[in-house]
């Protein structure tokens, strides 16, 4: 029995009394400690490895700050758009009591989120009315429920897309009680296809920007300005939330242009090219927006006070991190990259950045990065702060496009720690 691993199993209370677990969530630590103790009983780890394993597990299960060195501006797995300083400050201020539905002058109830709605209206004057929901899918969900429940939505077959993680647009639309009237083919749809499908049972015509893929070859799609001539409301889902044309994004639709070309209603996301928090944008004709705003479902999909504060600050607080990252040039990035390379003994290499977040799928942004050994990728991800780069052709590339310049020193320190002798082995041991 001397070799029995159960003889080395520490007591749960001894594990929880370890100073390394002093300031953690005790309930969560207790659950994790029991899991690790079972691993000791199975002979997978030693008794002395229990506390480090619990600490590592706690580290993994909490939300952590990440330095995005991937070169992907709107990285979905990293939360898409980074908020501006103004938005972060606004969220902190709104965390307490706030006048979200109160007119401080009269002391009476006021329109909810009037500051955010006013800022969005000012940013897109062409929109007669605006509304905010909790995400882009919610905006389209409300439009389909409020305008086409029991009716038909006329949409091109080539625009019935899957966005990601198994989320399919047709399933969302049909869940509202609307019927889909598919027209055209996967690669070609004409104005006549839409016109022939419109009738008394039509709720609206839907045009969806296929933001995460691109079709080439024998293809044809009907532009907004032509669809606007049809005898039915036109709803356009542009996806990415670009409010006005941007020369860096020549093929990306924007709200102002789509409304100018005749769309009755535009839906979009707030945490993509707008550079704000997760939110759904509804902009367009006053009658359509107000119908949806008064729909009972709008209450279930409404945004909280923190989102309202962040949206307003995003629109009024100056340049966002998303805008700066998209417009950063190689010449601007080079001095920072060269300093980092010198500090961590890396190599300066040309790189390509992308928009990400399901936007501008074919657009490549010329960039520059620091190349390091690939084996540093995991230690950097598990460090503090966590650093996520891009592994490419056997090298780890760190692109500073999306890293705030004040964080350059912290990034260099993180690389030095990850490169220290034994660092990779220590992380491997904690993960076993």
Domain covering 66-80+323-431 assigned CATH 3.40.50.1970 in the classification: no
Q: Which residue is listed with tokens 């049909």? A: 174
Cα gap 46→121, rounded to integer Å: 62
pLDDT of residue 426: 52
How far CA 37 is from CA of 33, 40, 50, 55, 159, in Å, comes to 6, 5, 7, 13, 52
Tokens of 403: 């890293």
258, 266 Cβ separation under 8 angstroms: yes
pLDDT of residue 1: 42
Cβ neighbours around 304 below 10 Å, total: 13
The beta strands (E) that lie in 274-358 are given as: 280-284, 347-356
The beta strands (E) that lie in 241-346 are given as: 265-269, 280-284
Per-residue tens of pLDDT for the chain, all 432 residues: 455 555 678 888 888 888 888 777 888 888 888 988 888 888 888 888 888 888 888 776 667 889 999 999 999 999 999 999 999 999 999 999 999 999 999 999 999 999 999 999 999 999 999 999 999 999 999 999 999 999 999 999 998 888 766 778 899 999 999 999 999 998 999 999 999 999 999 999 999 988 667 677 888 899 999 999 999 999 999 988 999 999 999 989 999 999 999 999 999 999 999 999 999 999 999 999 999 999 999 999 999 999 999 999 999 999 999 999 999 999 999 999 999 999 999 999 999 999 998 778 788 999 999 999 999 999 999 888 899 999 999 999 999 999 999 999 999 999 999 998 766 555 555 444
- Cα–chain-centroid distance for residue 307? 14
pLDDT of residue 5: 55
pTM reported for the whole predicted model: 0.85
Strands 152-156 and 265-269: unpaired
How far CA 275 is from CA of 164, 259, 310, 335, in Å, comes to 20, 21, 10, 26
How far CA 340 is from CA of 181, 344, 412, in Å, comes to 55, 6, 6
* Domain spanning 85-318, CATH class: alpha beta
**Which residues, 6+ apart, have CB-to-CB distance to 399 below 8 Å?**
69, 70, 71, 351, 353, 367, 368, 369, 389, 390
- Cα–chain-centroid distance for residue 14? 42
How far CA 421 is from CA of 44, 240, 413, 415, 425, in Å, comes to 25, 44, 14, 12, 9
Q: 286-293 and 136-148 helices cross at what angle (nearest 10)?
A: 100
Torsion of CA 375, 381, 386, 391, to 10 degrees: 70
Question: Which segments of 124-181 does DSSP mark as H helices, in order?
Answer: 136-148, 169-174
Phi-psi domain of 291 (left: phi exceeds 0; alpha: psi -120 through 50; beta: other):
alpha
Residue 9, φ and ψ in degrees, nearest 5: -80, 115
Q: Which residue is listed with tokens 């394993």? A: 53
Cα gap 287→295, rounded to integer Å: 12
Torsion of CA 237, 239, 243, 248, to 10 degrees: -130
Tokens of 131: 């509304």
Cα gap 283→267, rounded to integer Å: 7
């Amino acid at each position: 029995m001397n070799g029995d691993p159960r003889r080395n199993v520490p007591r749960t209370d001894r594990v929880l009394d370890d100073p390394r677990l002093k300031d953690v969530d005790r309930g969560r630590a207790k659950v994790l400690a029991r899991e690790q103790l079972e691993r000791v009983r199975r002979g997978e780890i030693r008794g002395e490895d229990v506390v480090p394993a619990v600490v590592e597990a706690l580290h993994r299960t909490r939300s952590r700050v990440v330095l995005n060195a991937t070169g992907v501006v709107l990285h979905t797995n990293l939360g898409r758009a980074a908020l501006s300083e103004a938005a972060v400050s606004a969220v902190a201020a709104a965390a307490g009591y706030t006048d979200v539905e109160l007119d401080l002058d009269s002391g009476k109830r006021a329109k909810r989120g009037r500051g955010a709605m006013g800022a969005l209206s000012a940013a897109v004057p062409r929109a007669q009315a605006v509304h905010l929901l909790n995400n882009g899918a919610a905006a389209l969900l409300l439009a389909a429920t409020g305008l086409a429940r029991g009716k038909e939505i006329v949409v091109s077959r080539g625009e019935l897309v899957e966005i990601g993680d198994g989320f399919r647009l047709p399933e969302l639309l049909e869940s509202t009680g609307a019927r889909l009237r598919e027209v055209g083919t996967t690669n070609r749809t004409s104005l006549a296809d839409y016109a022939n499908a419109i009738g008394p049972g039509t709720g609206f015509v839907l045009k969806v920007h296929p933001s995460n893929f691109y079709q080439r070859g024998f293809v044809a799609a009907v532009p907004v300005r032509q669809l606007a001539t049809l005898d039915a409301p036109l709803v356009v889902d542009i996806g990415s939330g670009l409010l006005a044309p941007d020369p860096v994004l020549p093929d990306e639709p924007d709200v102002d242009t789509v409304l100018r070309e005749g769309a009755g209603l535009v839906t979009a996301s707030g945490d993509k090219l707008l550079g704000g928090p997760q939110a759904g944008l509804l902009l367009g004709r006053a009658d359509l927006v107000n119908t949806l705003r008064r729909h009972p479902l709008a209450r279930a999909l409404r945004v909280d006070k923190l989102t309202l504060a962040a949206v307003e600050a995003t629109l009024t607080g100056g340049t966002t991190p998303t805008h700066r990252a998209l417009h950063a040039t190689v010449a601007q990035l080079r001095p920072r990259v060269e300093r980092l390379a010198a500090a961590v003994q890396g190599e300066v290499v040309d790189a390509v950045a992308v928009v990400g977040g399901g936007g501008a799928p074919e657009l490549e942004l010329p960039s520059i990065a620091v190349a390091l050994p690939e084996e540093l990728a995991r230690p950097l991800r598990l460090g503090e702060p966590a650093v996520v780069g891009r592994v490419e052709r056997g090298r780890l590339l760190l692109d500073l496009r999306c890293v705030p310049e004040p964080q350059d020193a912290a990034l260099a320190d993180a690389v030095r720690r990850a490169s220290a002798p034994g660092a990779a082995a220590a992380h491997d041991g904690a993960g076993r």
